[in-house]
Chain A
Amino acid sequence: MQMIYDTGLLLFSAPRALPFASRKCSHARQPRLSVRASTEPGEKSLEGMRKFSEQYARRTNTYFCSDKSVTAVVVKGLAAHKDELGAPLCPCRHYDDKKAEVAQGFWNCPCVPMRERKECHCMLFLTEDNGFRGDDATISLDTIHETTKGISGVQD
């Protein structure tokens, strides 16, 4: 009886919990993760990224995709990241730590591969010789909304 009591004290009072206890504790303390998928961007960011995309394509002599829905989705993704993180992080990548990536800057649009080699795997800025490219580098807000209807970012 006494031994059990002593062990009990040890378990609760030890600053460094024993392996078994720590596993149990961390399990209990683990918060219910509200898994947030990406959210729908705000109007201001969306318009900002739309303008940026058109201007940057002009500046780099690149085109939008012939399928404008691809362009629309990426522009929305950039805007969503701008809202969420303060910078338009490339939406076509997975990151271990988004905030660290924003601070580092490599993947902030326009990303380094784009700036250096005109490589955009998001298919937002396509070079003249790219088979997927369209004939222009313009996209209206209406087109963006129309072609992204139903792609909700909000988790259900």
Chain B
Amino acid sequence: MLLGSQTPILVDFYATWCGPCQLMSNVIQEVAANFPKEERLQVVKIDIDKYPALATRLRVQALPTLMLFRGGKQLDRVEGLLDAKMLSQRLRYYLRGLDAKFGRSQR
């Protein structure tokens, strides 16, 4: 799909009747809103009932599952609920190489 893009893409696999997915959706909105404007992040939500083949191909099992892609490579994958702080921390780590423990740049 859009996997060749250099812009990081956060894919959110969800199902209509999955409770935690709704919460995750709000968390993602919050994180995306607070994301620094210079760094673009694209968010894609995929309803696994509408696209089951894709979910199977990417071996999605528990929901919600988030995957972070950039340049066609999967950088991160997490299953289950995360809160806003943990999610933004993960994003910072994988996208900027920030030290996850101390939140400081390694560069």
A interface residues (Cβ-Cβ under 8 A, vs B): 35-38, 65, 67, 69-74, 76-78, 80, 91-94, 96, 121-124, 151-153, 155
Give the A-B pair count, Cβ closer than 8 A. Answer: 82
**Are A94 and B20 in contact, with the CB atoms below 8 A?**
no
Which residues of A have CB within 8 Å of B23?
67, 70, 123
Q: How many B residues are at the interface, by size bracket?
A: 20 to 34
CB distance from A54 to the nearest CB of B (A): 16
Contact segment of B56-64, B68-76, B87-95, B96-104? B56-64
Q: Are A73 and B52 in contact (CB under 8 A)?
A: no
A70: contacting residue among B22, B51, B65, CB under 8 A:
B22
B14 to chain A, nearest CB (A): 9
Q: Tell me whether A94 and B60 are in contact (CB under 8 A).
A: yes
Inter-chain CA distance A38–B62, complex, in Å, is 17
- Whether the Cβ atoms of A73 and B56 lie closer than 8 Å is no
A73: chain B residues at CB < 8 Å are 17-19, 22
Closest to B13 in A: A94
B50 close to A35 (CB less than 8 A): yes
Given the complex of chains A and B, what is the CA–CA distance between A111 and B63 in angstroms? Answer: 15
Q: Are A153 and B62 in contact (CB-based, < 8 A)?
A: no
